[in-house]
Amino acid sequence: MKKIRTQDAVGQVLCHDMTQIIKGVTKDARFRKGHIVTEEDIPVLLSMGKDYIYIWEKQAGMLHENDGARILCGLCKNDHMNESSVKEGKIELSADCDGLFEIDVERLDEINALDEIMIAARGNHTPVQKGDKLAGMRVIPLVISEEKMNEARRIAGERPLMRVLSYHKKRCGIVTTGNEVFFGRIKDTFSPVVAQKLEAFGGEIMGVTLCGDEPEGITAAIRAFFADGADLVVCTGGMSVDPDDRTPAAIRATGAKIVSYGAPVLPGAMFLLAYLDGKPVMGLPGCVMYAKRTIFDLVLPRVMADSPVTKRDLARLGNGGLCLGCEPCHFPNCGFGRGGV
């Protein structure tokens, strides 16, 4: 790469895209990398504030910004992703299916700590739809050393930094608890909310079993759903510390391995997550019935994409775990649940 006066550039090859900005008219590349400068281009370049321009001169051990961007894209791209054409040294990735977007945050941070390169992405564990933008990457200077790009390759290793996990069509059982519903004193308004959220991620509702407050009946209902081929079971109600709220004990009695009873999220602190023979069981607090977004909305996409949820994952939700109840709601394009994962 060589810097020369614009008036002396006729016949030279541009080494990068050059953007022209005219307010209210255009903001786009006026000249592309590889363009051979003509006499007619000189006034245009000068009007763009380009008294000097860079022309391409291949240097050993150095890469053009576009070539560097392609390397960064290769470190990130995985199945179910589409890449844009390289433009002004930048490439963007988008989803080619609905699913859960995940990032290896530690490796991403380490690469971004290198000088002269950057990768920006959506938050980890974000639900995305087909066509959604996922990430963008670029090299900061016009040229970069091959050594620097090799260091990025070393950090990334063999696995792509990012992935989109498609949702699975899971068979779902719902166990609605509480004497008030079981004996018909009030109408069940909880399970329709849960069913709607499950179906939004491709879940097939096997049925709803109503149970009283006795834990033995709840335990039997959970086991019955799994015996009939359920992939997950959701229990509603009975999740508080009141003496007659006994759903957590009923879930434990199935033999399920408890990941956590309680999560640093509001609404949704009394949430329970367990796995029985590798299949998830969730206990949902009452807030899921009336609050627009809760802990259930943070965990459900991961469950439906078979992304295992650990106790540490839930603990990290405290950073960003307070839903502000905004109107209108912009979830998942907001800070709720995005800070700690």
Range from 34-38, 127-131, 256-260 carrying the lowest mean pLDDT: 34-38
| pLDDT tens-digit map of 11-66 | 888 887 888 888 888 888 888 877 889 999 999 999 999 999 988 777 789 888 88
- Taking only the tens place, the pLDDT of each residue in 269-317 is 999 999 999 999 999 999 999 999 999 999 999 999 999 999 999 999 9
Work out the mean pLDDT of the chain and round it to a whole number: 93
* Cα–Cα dist 70/64, whole Å: 10
The CATH number assigned to the domain with range 62-166 reads: 3.90.1170
List where CATH 3.40.980.10 sits in the chain. Answer: 171-316
239 Ramachandran zone, left/alpha/beta (phi>0; psi -120 to 50): alpha
pTM for this entry: 0.83
Which residue ranges does the chain devote to CATH 3.90.105.10? Answer: 2-55
Residues ≥6 apart with Cβ < 8 Å to 220:
none
What digits encode the pLDDT tens for the residues 147-190? 999 999 999 999 999 999 999 999 999 999 999 999 999 999 99
202, amino acid identity: G
Q: For residue 338, what pLDDT band results from cuts at 50, 70 and 90?
A: confident
Superfamily (CATH H level) for 171-316: MoaB/Mog-like domain (3.40.980.10)
- Given this model, what pLDDT does residue 2 score? 85
How wide is the angle at C-alpha 299 spanned by C-alphas 295 and 305, nearest 5°? 160
**Stretch(es) of the chain classified as CATH 3.90.1170:** 62-166
d(CA 64, CA 213): 68
- How is domain 2-55 classified at the architecture level of CATH? Alpha-Beta Complex (3.90)
Per-residue pLDDT at 198 exceeds 80: yes
What pLDDT score does 25 carry?
85
pLDDT greater at residue 8 or residue 29: 8
115 phi and psi angles, rounded to 5 deg: -75, 150
Give the residue-averaged pLDDT of 317-325: 95
Q: In whole angstroms, what is the distance from residue 93 CA to residue 289 CA?
A: 36
Q: What are the backbone dihedrals phi and psi of residue 187, each rounded to the nearest 5 degrees, phi first?
A: -80, 145
